[in-house]
Every structure is written in C-alpha cells, then in structure tokens.
Amino acid sequence: MARSPAIRNLLALALLLASAAAANAQGWPNKPIRYIVPYPAGGNTDITGRLIGQKLSEALGQPVVIDNLPGGGANIGAAAAARAAPDGNTLFQGTGSTHGINSSLFPKLPFDPIKDFTPIALLVESPLFLVVTPDLPVKTVPELVAYAKAHPGKLSFGSVGIGSAHHLASELLKQRAGLDMVHVPYRGSAPVLQDLMGGQIQLAFDATALQLVQEGRLRALAVASTKRWPTAPDIPAMSEVGFPDFEVGGWFGLFGPAGTPRPIVDRVNAEVNRILAMPPIKQRLAEIGLEPLGGTPEELAKHVEAELAKWPAIVKAAGARLEH
C-alpha cells in the first residue's frame, strides 16, 4: 500500500534527524565536556565525579570539567543538566536523591527524573552506617533503642540536610522503634561527623564514617542494609538486629540530557565500565566506602524506576515531605 505524502515526509524527517545525530556523534567530543555534580566539592559525590572525570578525559582526549552545582536538595544541579543541549557535552552525576527520593519529597520538581535524562551507567553504591559517639554507653542497636527510650528527647541525630537518605534512615529508625530524638540538619557529612566526634550530637547514619570507625573515633552499630557490607564484615546489618527490610543507602549514576545520541551513550558507557574495573579506582572507591557497579544504560533505567517506586512509603513514614 502506498504511503501518504505526510507519512513519507515524517519518515524522511526521522531519517534526517537520525543521520544528523550519527554525524554529530562521529565528531564527538570536539570540545571540553561539562560534568555536573549536584553537591559541593569534597564529599563522596564530588570525589567519585573527579575520579571518573579524570579517566574519561584521558580516554576521550578532551578535558572533562567538574561543575559543582549544589543546593535545593541536589535539584539545582539536576535542573541545569536537564536543560542542557543533548549533544554529549554535558554529563550529570545523578544520585539516589535526584532520581529517587526527591520525587516523593518535593511536591514539584524543576525536572522529570525519567523524561529529562538519558541513562548511561550506574557508578557506585554506598551504605549508610549507624554511628554513635564513643561516649554514648551503647554498643548495639538494641542498647541504643533502650537508651533512647529511657531518655526521651535527649538524643540528637545529625543528617545531611532535610529529606536526604541520611535523614530518612534516622526517621525510619525513630518510627519503627518508637523513639523521641531531635533532628539536627547540616550542609554536608563533614560537619555532621565533626559534631558527632565532639559530642554535640550523639548519632547519625552516614556513608563516610567508616575510616573514623576504624580509627576508634566513632562507634558503628549497624549498616542500613539487609546484608553486611563487604568492606566492613564485622558490622551487623539492621536486618540482623531487629529491623527487617531496613535498607536505606546511596548510589550514583551517570546521565545525559534527554535525547543524547545513542552512539555517545554507548561510548561513555563502555569507558565508564572500563574505568570502574581499574584496580586503583576500585581501591580509592573502597577507601571512601563505595562499591563500583557499572552495567548497561537499560540497567540504570530499571534502577531508577525501582528507586522511584521505593521511596514514597518511606518518606510518608518519616513525615519528611517538603511543602515548597
């Protein structure tokens, strides 16, 4: 059956656009690549971005410039990435906040975590360790629960901002154990741990505390997971200490703006998987408590879908929704 002129025109346009995208991809990269990290310099998100960015620069022959755009619960950086041209010259290091928690936490986002991004590859995952100041007379989670119940309103817990995984893990513990504790939000992990060691707060869920635990400056009671973490096998999982299905952690993934050409996505994906398998990279990530992941763009897309489905119930239980 003969096609109508309108259909032929649409097909011709589609072929033209596909050819243009392929041509652009063949010449890519021909200028520095912007790598947006939606958090300040110095934290695990930033360190991961700089490790990946440096190796990507070496592989692609163009500078990969880290652009730290913190604020708004990571929404500022995500929105900037979503608005960028889909030409492969902007990459975005999304997190469990930008592509998971925030959709349940904020009534309205300046981006759509699925429609506005092209998945490229999972990067790393990080556990959250429940840590306490050594001065607190508890060595297990049951002892912490008992102590908190005996001293209602006397314990303070820190977190990175309001609505972060760190915050929600603590609120989930409060909710499930029926505890009365005071929340103290901070701008980053470093001040949380500093005040924890100084005794200004007594506990926190944190992804960067493992080295301080190993040095004896903090005490780890559990990891917020259903299984023990490979780099800390002596620390029990929350599921082992009376909290089944207690799994709150962090992860980072690499995205492009929606419409990023598939040849570019495949090239970056292949390089990222190669980088994550490098022994020096794996060692450095392990030092800061991160486990390399990698995988296909499709696996990242499925991971995002699962994260978006996971968080509404947790946010509701924590009562942490932000009304602005």
- Residue 254 and residue 237 share a domain: no
- Residue 253 and residue 207 share a domain: no
- The reply to whether 162 falls in a domain is yes
Task: Provide the pLDDT for residue 153.
Answer: 96
Q: What does the alpha-carbon distance between residue 283 and residue 57 come to, in Å, rounded to a whole number?
A: 20
Q: What does the alpha-carbon distance between residue 60 and residue 309 come to, in Å, rounded to a whole number?
A: 36
Of the candidates 191, 213, 241, which is a domain's last residue?
Answer: 241
Considering Cα of 75, then 225, then 208, then 146, what sign does the dihedral take? Answer: positive
Q: What is the number of residues in the chain?
A: 324
- Here the CATH number for the domain that contains residue 50 is 3.40.190.150
Range of the domain at 232: 129-241
- The reply to whether 179 falls in a domain is yes
Range 241-254 average pLDDT: 91
Range 90-112 average pLDDT: 94
> Per-residue pLDDT tens for 185-200?
887 788 899 999 999 9
Q: Which of 317, 310, 313, 311 is nearest to 174 (CA)?
A: 317
Task: Provide the pLDDT for residue 16.
Answer: 46
Q: What does the alpha-carbon distance between residue 269 and residue 262 come to, in Å, rounded to a whole number?
A: 10
Structure token digits, residue 246: 């207690």
> Looking at the 3D structure of the chain, how many domains does it have?
2
Q: What does the alpha-carbon distance between residue 125 and residue 290 come to, in Å, rounded to a whole number?
A: 6
Q: To the nearest whole number, what is the mean pLDDT of the chain? A: 89
CB-count burial class (<10 Å; 0-12, 13-18, 19+) for 73: buried
Task: Provide the pLDDT for residue 23.
Answer: 44
Decide if pLDDT at 8 tops 70: no
Range 27-36 average pLDDT: 96
Of the candidates 241, 268, 295, which is a domain's last residue?
Answer: 241
Strands 291-292 and 90-95 turn out to be unpaired
Range 147-168 average pLDDT: 90
> Per-residue pLDDT tens for 35-78?
999 988 888 889 999 999 999 999 999 999 999 999 888 999 99
- The reply to whether 323 falls in a domain is no
If you write DSSP's letter for every residue of 238-290 in order, what string do you get? GGGGT-TT----EEEEEEEETT--HHHHHHHHHHHHHHHT-HHHHHHHHHTT-
- The reply to whether 44 falls in a domain is yes
- Residue 259 and residue 115 share a domain: yes
- The reply to whether 253 falls in a domain is yes
- Residue 234 and residue 133 share a domain: yes
CB 74 within 8 A of CB 98: yes
More confident residue, 181 or 22: 181
- Residue 253 and residue 116 share a domain: yes
Task: Provide the pLDDT for residue 233.
Answer: 92
- The order of strands in the sheet holding 203-206 is 182-186, 156-160, 203-206, 129-132, 219-223
- The reply to whether 172 falls in a domain is yes
- Residue 253 and residue 121 share a domain: yes
Lowest-confidence segment of 10-14, 22-26, 146-150 by average pLDDT: 10-14
Rg (CA), the chain: 22
Task: Provide the pLDDT for residue 3.
Answer: 56
- Here the CATH number for the domain that contains residue 223 is 3.40.190.10
Q: Which of 170, 135, 169, 156 is nearest to 201 (CA)?
A: 156
Of the candidates 241, 269, 296, which is a domain's last residue?
Answer: 241
Q: How many CB atoms lie within 10 A of CB 313?
A: 10
